[in-house]
Amino acid sequence: MNLGDLKFVYLLLCLTIGAIILLPNFFTVLSLSNEEPFSELYILGPSHALENIPSNVMAKSLNTIYLGVNNQMGEVASYLIYVKIRNQTEPLPDIIRNSPSSLTPILEYRMILSDNEGWEKEVSFSFDNVLLNGNETIVSGMSIDGHFVSIDKTSAWNAEEKKFFYQLFFELWIFESVSSDFRFHNRFVGLNLNLTREP
Amino acid sequence: MQVRRHLGFVVSLCLLVILLSFGSVPFGLSVESFEAGEALRSAETDFASAFTAVSQAEKTGANVTVLIDRLNVANNLLSEGYVSYWNGDYETANSLATTCKETLAGIADEANQLRISAERFLGSKALLTAVFSGIGLIILFVLGFLGWGLLKRSYYKRLLGLRPVVEESQ
């Protein structure tokens, strides 16, 4: 190895050591996180699994599910879940347009979660005031999570699917610091329910 | 004549009281609904300020666990308040909104203090890192020069120490 080569190797070594010395300064300015931030919203059945999720429900019978949210946004987040109920003709949230359902909520849950933190709640519900009127059912009251709520939902008999269709769904909203308000987080989960006389 | 006038006055007074009391019922209810709505909106605004402050403090690295717990308590009160409001129980809604506001009181200030402390800590940490890096670079520079001098000297020493080897030609 001649002197020129030795000088080059020595300079490279010194530069590497210099870069290592300067590295902590870059870490105080930059945060190396290339993970895509997201939130999870889920429903589980009464056995805490993706089975036995209520579908055929009777009037006044108690049904249980687990509702959960996970924060993977990389920072603390404030969530709001709106609980809504619809029949077959009423609107669902529009995921493509990022717009929530125009239906009035019957209940809401709020939670603040740190990054990687989860929230889960057992939600019990029952259709209390149900009237069968010919080919349609009218639900005027239901209990959800210990609250009695007055609703007025009519569902016509669906001869094809043989059911009185109702859907209990949960919309996830997130607090946005820029607007200082909650906005629809473009996520929802729902339970397709068939109101029956027999289980 | 005077008795009749007195009687007339008493009757009109009674009528006035009855009318006022009847009139006050719907009026009182509408105010209560309005009040509850306003109280909930006000609590919502307080929540927004408190959460924004806590979120900013958390981003600077402050430990906001206790504040998040308090915010969650306020959140539950606000949820219950809205549910009561939707069910027409304006009194409960109003009361829950007031309790929520009380719970939120001071959270934004505490979060701002935590944020300032965290920012100061971050600033001093960055300064300390920069100072140590600077010292490190100076040491590297000095040692680099000294090292290069030694290396060069040993290289030449080794080069001069080499003896020519004469090989016999065939």
pLDDT tens for residues A80-118? 999 999 998 999 999 999 999 999 999 999 999 999 999
Phi, psi of A95 (to 5 degrees): -70, -35
Q: How far is B54 from chain A (nearest CA, A)?
A: 9
Percent of chain B that is helix, strand, coil (3-state, to 5): 90, 0, 10
- pLDDT of residue B27 exceeding 50, the answer is no
A140 vs B: CB within 8 A: no
Contact (CB, 8 A) for A136 and A68: no
- Which chain A residues are within 8 Å of B144, Cβ to Cβ? 10, 14
**pLDDT value at residue B156:** 85
CB within 8 Å: A180 and B52: yes
Residue A85 Cα distances to A73, B88, B125, angstroms? 28, 19, 53
Q: How far is A158 from chain B (nearest CA, A)?
A: 31
Residue A175 neighbours by CB under 8 Å, 6+ apart: A77, A78, A79, A80, A181, A182, B48, B51
Residue B160 Cα distances to A7, A133, B23, B98, B153, angstroms? 18, 112, 117, 91, 10
When comparing pLDDT for A35 and B34, which is higher?
B34
- Which chain A residues are within 8 Å of B65, Cβ to Cβ? 114
CB within 8 Å: B79 and A24: no
**pLDDT tens digits for range A54-70:** 999 998 899 999 999 99
**Rounded Cα–Cα distance for residues A33 and A25 (Å):** 17
Report residue A163's pLDDT band, with 50, 70 and 90 as the boundaries: confident
**pLDDT tens digits for range B65-97:** 999 999 999 999 999 999 999 888 999 999 999
**pLDDT value at residue A43:** 96
- Which chain A residues are within 8 Å of B79, Cβ to Cβ? 108-110
DSSP at A99: B
Residues 103-162 in B contacting A (C-alpha not used; CB under 8 Å):
122, 125-126, 129-130, 132-133, 136-137, 140, 144, 147-148, 151-152, 155
B43 vs A: CB within 8 A: no
* Backbone region of residue B166 per phi and psi (left: phi > 0; alpha: psi in -120 to 50; beta: other values): beta
* b (16+ CB within 10 A) / e for A52-67: ebbeebbbeeebebbb
**pLDDT tens digits for range B7-24:** 666 666 555 555 444 444
**pLDDT tens digits for range A133-146:** 888 899 999 999 98
Burial (Cβ within 10 Å: 0-12, 13-18, ≥19) of residue B48: buried
Report residue A155's pLDDT band, with 50, 70 and 90 as the boundaries: very high
Contact (CB, 8 A) for A177 and B52: yes
When comparing pLDDT for B167 and B91, which is higher?
B91
B82 vs A: CB within 8 A: yes
- pLDDT of residue A182 exceeding 90, the answer is yes
Q: How far is B136 from chain A (nearest CA, A)?
A: 7
**pLDDT tens digits for range B97-152:** 999 999 999 999 999 999 999 989 888 888 888 888 899 989 999 999 899 899 88
Q: State the DSSP string of B18-75.
A: HHHHHHHHHHHHHHHHHHHHHHHHHHHHHHHHHHHHHHHHHHTT---HHHHHHHHHHH
What is the chain A residue with the closest CA to B48? A180
**Rounded Cα–Cα distance for residues A71 and B49 (Å):** 21
Q: State the DSSP string of A32-91.
A: ---PPPEEEEEEE-TTSSSSS---EEEBT--EEEEEEEEEESSS-EEEEEEEEEEETTSP
- pLDDT of residue A125 exceeding 80, the answer is yes
Question: What is the average per-residue pLDDT within B26-48?
Answer: 80
**pLDDT value at residue A32:** 60
Question: What is the average per-residue pLDDT within A14-29?
Answer: 84
CB within 8 Å: B137 and A149: no
- Which chain A residues are within 8 Å of B155, Cβ to Cβ? 3, 6
Helical pair B2-59 and B107-160, crossing angle rounded to 10 deg = 10
Could you tell me the pTM of the whole model? 0.77
Over chain A, what is the mean pLDDT? 90
**pLDDT value at residue B22:** 46
Q: How far is A9 from chain B (nearest CA, A)?
A: 11
CB within 8 Å: A6 and B52: no
Return the number of other C-beta atoms located less than 10 Å from residue B69's C-beta. Answer: 10
CB within 8 Å: A177 and B52: yes
**Rounded Cα–Cα distance for residues B80 and A147 (Å):** 10
Question: What is the average per-residue pLDDT within B154-166?
Answer: 79
Residue B149 neighbours by CB under 8 Å, 6+ apart: none
Reported residue count of chain B is 170
**pLDDT tens digits for range B38-65:** 999 999 999 999 999 999 999 999 999 9
Q: How far is B22 from chain A (nearest CA, A)?
A: 28
Residue type at position B18: I
A157 vs B: CB within 8 A: no
Residue B32 neighbours by CB under 8 Å, 6+ apart: B90, B91, B94
**Rounded Cα–Cα distance for residues B158 and A103 (Å):** 88
When comparing pLDDT for A187 and A35, which is higher?
A187
**Rounded Cα–Cα distance for residues A140 and A163 (Å):** 18
What is the chain B residue with the closest CA to A28? B126
CB within 8 Å: A112 and B51: yes
**Rounded Cα–Cα distance for residues B148 and B146 (Å):** 5
